[in-house]
Structure 1
């Protein structure tokens, strides 16, 4: 890639008008260099009024060309923290069930491209698909159509209410995958080669979709980055919603929360979490409905067995150097960090790394196979291989806003080249070049950026986390 290529493919370039004629209607985006962008395309009706706490409703066909030149409204109205590692802009508006398509420039002679569907993180209560860290220009240059999806968050997406469907956020994602199956060919994508990829809560959503009987046929490969087997027990959800209703002065029902604005409800969620004195997963996937009828581990043993899965975590996640939004103990000293890692006493081990062998064990007989990775490059800013710092490498966007603030002024470009190529290869259908995992101690894993190692070497290492049960109240963001 040359500097000129990068400028021509820049997200900020106004570009020329490009058009896609899809079953959903005509969509008008912008093209710059080798990249086309169609931003903020609604895949469902706005979840307002009677639809606010209801299953998503498929969007009707556009009767006029749809202007997809800018990001659509985001479900996040109130940021999780004043400062977050990933830039997460909130875009006002009600039409939050939208997706963006970044595709290679049109070429009548090209075979349909594989599709990567990106699910953002944010603890199921925040996050934004409009982040510049999620720009798919590098994937488009690698012959991949990249789709980023918005879905309902917090109370709107994951409340357990007696008079409303559960797992609305996951139902949104399932409907978005249906839209992709029906429309992505108009953007140059192959609906028969769809890979779902997510990070943190998005990675947990990928595992939830993989374990769901409703996910069958909607995607063909899966990648979970710093995800986990995260669900919220019904009594935990009801307790939190009772306290939230009391704080807002409304009954904890569909009608009660519906009488409050989305902004007021989100602010109440964040205030209540802050006052509790510890970060918790207070809202998230619920087990016991048609989306997730059994536990994630049990579902993974039955469903999605033919789907290849790559999953892993960063080496330090929330146990890197202290950050303003982290109240967990910091293991910034290398010796202390190594001792804690060996003992399995860190948040990283109990919530993230332990999930990897558990998932691999549940899928031991899956024909699709399971592969592990571990991201080991320590950010000099955050004091370790912290949560989220692997994202600019996987997306190969080291020039994006906010990257230098999180990764320092000289992040290794060769590591981004390596990690991005591995992910692109998997999306294209190539099998990872290291051994499968079976869920046993010592399973091999692809190690990225271990200090002192050769960053571009095709090496494997030992991925041996201490397997511990995931607490009912857990943090993901």
Structure 2
């Protein structure tokens, strides 16, 4: 088997667990073998649009705020992205570009105050700038429920990953109504089209930064994981990447009718119609605020919007038949992107983060659990299936399990099942390590994998989960996960056996990592007959 990590030819007994084989994480990559940029030199690279000057940080050349598309304002508001114009001279690439307009969740709207409108920019970390290095490239797509997000968050700094011998790219894309609002006269899924434009920029320019355009891996988490899944299903993305990593795939995709109804409700808050002609001159902050207003009163839409209203997720990719012809699960089951190796997984306690934020930890009532089972379970028989499959579970466990399964865990596992059933290669993981923050209250929660993969354990939101002083245990787990991700990007093999629908071998990441068989069997059986279709508009 090709790869930096050896795997025994005979798979383990599915009934047993084992430690992953192969060399220690430190032996999988050799960043010290790379020729680091000259100390003290300000690295310069020439792109197709013009030259950029970056900075040197801990032996890695960093370029921030490079435009990959023209600012989507004025006549380009709500349009498909257009290539950025060129420039003369050398453009400083020292600061992140401004975040795209977005809602007020977690205070993200404050980052947009006073920002300029050139939102579509990207950032590059490379250990070996200049053509000829041919390094693997890892392109990150951040999450944020398709509503918030910016590549400037400190947890997305690509320096540690780049020092393992890869080129790392992060970028902004339009979110919320700017990126996904279903407006008459505008192409659907503009946020996904922005992602494709960033990948096209990578194809055309990454060689100058030391990367190989034919060795590109896309990786993303939550809405970013859902975006990776969507890109696998999009004909326009074909040929732009050769490997994919989907972390905690957000399972919400909308029908055109539902997306149009959401857009109508948001435009009505402004006294307007959901058309480009009506909305083009509305300030982005006002449009985002209208989306927030609708999001704060979703109870009145619950009968029509279903899951999209129950969890405040009314903005998501639209399966409208053109930019996105089918859901990722349908597309992969039909053989789409079969030649692209896939790494997919989730955390054990996805919902726990939101339970803590909502102040419900240990406080879920039987009535709240029953409502969650009804609203988020797999069909009318869902509550019975959960109670039969988890007979000893109390309200808290049932509440968390059904939310975790519907929104992230089962969308991720079904993606793996669809890929394996169609004959494609897929590796599956589950993060089971308990975050130490708040005395372990977060468990293995949603988003915990992000700082572990990037290696940024002590900055931004991860500090809340992991603590101001990361433990040696956390550092070792992070090193192991970084090694697996970079090995997959380099060789297509993260270091454990591929998943199939017979053995269902899954890598568990914990203090003592192990490969085990079918660790989420209970939930898998509950959801095995469910189809993740676009969320439909109810009469």
Q: CA RMSD in A?
A: 3.0
How far residue 77 of structure 1 moved from its aligned partner, in angstroms, is 4.2
How far residue 229 of structure 1 moved from its aligned partner, in angstroms, is 3.9
Q: Name the structure 2 match of 1:447.
A: 508
Q: Name the structure 1 match of 2:466.
A: 407
Q: Name the structure 2 match of 1:306.
A: 339
How far residue 372 of structure 1 moved from its aligned partner, in angstroms, is 0.8
Worse-matched range after superposition: 317-326 or 198-207: 317-326
Q: Name the structure 2 match of 1:319.
A: 352
Q: Name the structure 1 match of 2:10.
A: none
Distance 1:363 1:234 in 2: 26
With the length of structure 2 as denominator, give the TM-score of the two structures.
0.77
Q: How does 1:117-266 map to 2 (within 5 A)?
A: 117-266=139-288
How far residue 401 of structure 1 moved from its aligned partner, in angstroms, is 3.3
> Does structure 2 conserve the Cα–Cα contact (< 8 Å) formed by 1:79 and 1:90?
no
Q: Name the structure 1 match of 2:118.
A: 95
CA 1:402/1:296 → structure 2, altered by over 3 Å: closer, same or farther?
Answer: closer
Distance 1:273 1:328 in 2: 23
Distance 2:399 2:287 in 1: 40
* Per-residue deviation, residues 229-283 of structure 1 (Å, max 9, x unmatched): 4311122212221211111221121122223111111122122212225432211
> Does structure 1 conserve the Cα–Cα contact (< 8 Å) formed by 2:433 and 2:444?
yes
> Aligned residue pairs: how many?
450
> Does structure 2 conserve the Cα–Cα contact (< 8 Å) formed by 1:117 and 1:195?
yes
User: Is 1:397 matched with 2:397?
Assistant: no
Distance 2:246 2:101 in 1: 22
CA 1:138/1:460 → structure 2, altered by over 3 Å: closer, same or farther?
Answer: farther
How far residue 78 of structure 1 moved from its aligned partner, in angstroms, is 4.1
CA 1:33/1:364 → structure 2, altered by over 3 Å: closer, same or farther?
Answer: closer
Q: How does 1:327-366 map to 2 (within 5 A)?
A: 345-364=401-420
CA 1:342/1:402 → structure 2, altered by over 3 Å: closer, same or farther?
Answer: closer
User: Is 1:418 matched with 2:480?
Assistant: yes
> Does structure 1 conserve the Cα–Cα contact (< 8 Å) formed by 2:245 and 2:343?
yes
CA 1:328/1:294 → structure 2, altered by over 3 Å: closer, same or farther?
Answer: farther
How far residue 357 of structure 1 moved from its aligned partner, in angstroms, is 3.1
With the length of structure 1 as denominator, give the TM-score of the two structures.
0.86
| Structure 1 SS opposite 2:208 | helix
Q: Name the structure 2 match of 1:10.
A: none
Distance 2:49 2:362 in 1: 50
Distance 2:533 2:68 in 1: 35
How far residue 337 of structure 1 moved from its aligned partner, in angstroms, is 7.0
Higher helix share: 2
Correspondent of 2:105 among 80, 93, 97: 80
| Structure 2 SS opposite 1:180 | helix
CA 1:318/1:344 → structure 2, altered by over 3 Å: closer, same or farther?
Answer: closer
Distance 2:214 2:173 in 1: 23
How far residue 391 of structure 1 moved from its aligned partner, in angstroms, is 0.9
> Does structure 2 conserve the Cα–Cα contact (< 8 Å) formed by 1:43 and 1:59?
yes
Structure having greater relative contact order (Cα 8 Å, sep ≥ 6): 2
Distance 2:108 2:364 in 1: 21
Distance 1:368 1:114 in 2: 21
Q: Name the structure 1 match of 2:378.
A: none
| Structure 1 SS opposite 2:106 | coil
CA 1:448/1:264 → structure 2, altered by over 3 Å: closer, same or farther?
Answer: same
What runs of 5+ residues in structure 2 fail to find an aligned partner? 1-25, 27-38, 300-309, 366-390
> Does structure 2 conserve the Cα–Cα contact (< 8 Å) formed by 1:159 and 1:237?
yes
* Per-residue deviation, residues 340-387 of structure 1 (Å, max 9, x unmatched): 768995210122111233212322255550111111112232431111
Q: Name the structure 2 match of 1:379.
A: 435
Distance 1:436 1:215 in 2: 24
> Does structure 2 conserve the Cα–Cα contact (< 8 Å) formed by 1:89 and 1:128?
no
Distance 1:344 1:269 in 2: 27
> Does structure 1 conserve the Cα–Cα contact (< 8 Å) formed by 2:338 and 2:424?
yes
Distance 1:413 1:218 in 2: 33
Q: Name the structure 1 match of 2:368.
A: none
How far residue 105 of structure 1 moved from its aligned partner, in angstroms, is 4.2
Distance 2:355 2:96 in 1: 33
What runs of 5+ residues in structure 1 fail to find an aligned partner? 2-13
CA 1:320/1:126 → structure 2, altered by over 3 Å: closer, same or farther?
Answer: closer
> Does structure 1 conserve the Cα–Cα contact (< 8 Å) formed by 2:128 and 2:209?
no
| Structure 1 SS opposite 2:296 | helix
| Structure 1 SS opposite 2:357 | coil
Worse-matched range after superposition: 287-296 or 419-428: 287-296
How far residue 94 of structure 1 moved from its aligned partner, in angstroms, is 0.7
